[in-house]
Amino acid sequence: MTKILIIDDDVELAGLFKEYLEQDGFAVEVSHQGESGLRLALSGDYQLVILDIMLPDIKGTEVLNRIRMESRIPVLMFTAKGDDVDRIIGLESGADDYVPKPCTPRELAARIRAILRRTQPAKGGDNGPIIAGALKVWSEKRKASWFDHDLELTSTEFNLLETLALHFGRIVSKNELSEKALGRPLARFDRSIDVHMSSIRQKLGCQSDGRSYIQTVRGQGYQLIKE
């Protein structure tokens, strides 16, 4: 049974989500404090963390930063409805996706399943890496290397880079990237893909002429370019 950790100080709402998710087949534990939630998140006992950006003792983004120092566990963040700043800060801190509050338990469960589907290693034997220039991606192991150095990627970053590698040298639309990496169509004004791509670019560095290895093609999408 998949174990989910909810870190949220809203006792009533967290209890509602816990009840619904348990009925949907998940095992759920709730922490109402950032520090105690952080310890649980790093225990290795959970497959996904749902983290509120506003907590009473420590900011949710700080909890996320500290999780990312030690773990790549998928993190779904609660953000304030309509607050783009919260969303961007959460994604830049390493969240895999966000869901605005208030949301329905059904929507939350759908987001969880979409993330989990894309974070589970593929079954079967290792067929070797996808090679796209200096990038190597092992889909089964969910591992990637860049110029033979391992990349530390969140689950969403891995999915995005894998998709670009599969289309090496070709443009991939933002909607296709959203479907592959987030498991949902790209919503209007949603900047999630842009923020994740910015993080990936920082991890890949620049070419000798200062250009990024991942190019933005305005109005079309992104492209992992061939040198």
Mean pLDDT for 181-208 is: 90
Q: Scanning the structure block, which residue is given the tokens 């639309």? A: 173
Residue intervals of the chain classified under CATH 3.40.50.2300 are 3-117
Residue among 72, 79, 5, 2 nearest 37 (CA): 5
pLDDT at 203 exceeding the cut of 60: yes
Q: How far is CA 181 from CA 80, 88, 200, in A?
A: 22, 17, 13
Residue among 224, 116, 215 nearest 169 (CA): 224
Query: pTM of the full predicted structure?
Result: 0.85
Task: Report pLDDT digits (tens) over 3-42.
Answer: 999 999 999 999 999 999 999 999 999 999 999 999 999 9
Spatial neighbors of 18 by CB under 8 A, at least 6 apart, are: 6, 28, 30
pLDDT at 226: 85
Backbone angles phi, psi at 7, to 5 degrees: -115, 105
Q: Which residue intervals of 73-184 are DSSP H helices?
A: 84-92, 105-117, 155-166, 174-182
Domain 130-224 has CATH 1.20.1580.10: no
Q: How far is CA 21 from CA 109, 170, 200, in A?
A: 7, 40, 32
pLDDT band at residue 225 under the 50/70/90 scheme: very high
* Geometric angle at alpha carbon 37, from 121 and 75, rounded to 5°: 35
Residue intervals of the chain classified under CATH 1.10.10.10 are 130-224
Spatial neighbors of 178 by CB under 8 A, at least 6 apart, are: 184, 185, 186, 190, 192, 193
Residue 95 and residue 51 in contact, taking contact as beta carbons nearer than 8 Å: yes
pLDDT at 170: 95
Task: Report pLDDT digits (tens) over 113-148.
Answer: 989 988 776 555 567 899 999 999 998 889 999 999
pLDDT at 124: 55
CATH code assigned to 3-117: 3.40.50.2300
